[in-house]
Amino acid sequence: MVLEGPDGGGKSTQVDLLVRRWRSGGATVHQTFEPGGTDLGREIRSLVLHADSEPMAEALLMTAQRVQHVAALEPLLAAGSHVVTDRYLPSSLVYQGLARGLGVDRVLALHDLSGISLEPDVVFVLDPGDRSLRDRPDADRFESAGAEFGQRVRDGYRHLATRFGWQMIDASGSIDEVADQLWGVLADFGGDAVEPRSG
């Protein structure tokens, strides 16, 4: 499954909590993230988050790290592990496709060209409502891009959620409330997958 959302929506905390809860039931759950998740991915992450780049250059780099990431995930999935990733293709569709204006179809075309065929079973989008972006001194390029960009990202997720069937989660509540909500929806989707293993 994929956890998505605008920067500053508490996504990383929720990924940690969800994975911990899932594992405590006995499931094998691999936790990962994009951009990153592999050695090459981490190198690309540092390039993309800190150097100025054209939207298409960004989309190509994000796609490249995804190819590497998926190659690393496939054997784990084949061995029966669940995978929870903090960001995946939806981030490229929203950030490069909409917020940076490349167009969703061009990002999808790149994705098709990459040959990636891994589709998540479910995509959750943590929607922070109108809480604004973190304004931290160590903010990366994306986090510093300003309120207008942040609004485009938030609107982008809402817009594409309908088209692609992403599950919007209201992330305006407390950490525990959001975690419980997420767990409830995951249980609906995952069925037995999130039930504690018996025996």
- Write the binding mask 157 to 176 for ligand TYD: x where contact by CB under 6 A, - elsewhere: --------------------
CA angle at residue 44 from 39 to 49, to 5 degrees? 130
Task: Please give the size of the binding site for ligand TYD, defined by CB under 6 A.
Answer: 15
Q: Please say which residue, 49 or 72, places its beta carbon nearer to ligand TYD.
A: 49
Q: Does 62 bind ligand TYD (CB under 6 A)?
A: yes
Tokens describing residue 63 = 């796609």
CA neighbours within 13 Å on the CB side: how many for 146?
Answer: 4
- Count CB atoms within 10 A of the CB of residue 150: 21
Query: Which of positions 113-152 make contact with ligand TYD (CB under 6 A)?
Result: 140, 142
Among 7-15, 67-75, 108-116, 159-167, which window interacts with ligand TYD (CB under 6 A)? 7-15
Taking the complex as a whole, how short is the minimal distance between the CB of residue 27 and ligand TYD, in angstroms? 23
What residue type is assigned to position 15 of the chain?
V
Q: How far apart are CA 189 and CA 22, in angstroms?
A: 13
Query: Which of positions 76-105 make contact with ligand TYD (CB under 6 A)?
Result: 86-87, 91-92, 95-96
The values of phi and psi at residue 100, to 5°, are -100, 5
The values of phi and psi at residue 8, to 5°, are 80, 10
Interface with ligand TYD by CB under 6 A: which residues?
7, 11-12, 34-35, 49, 62, 86-87, 91-92, 95-96, 140, 142
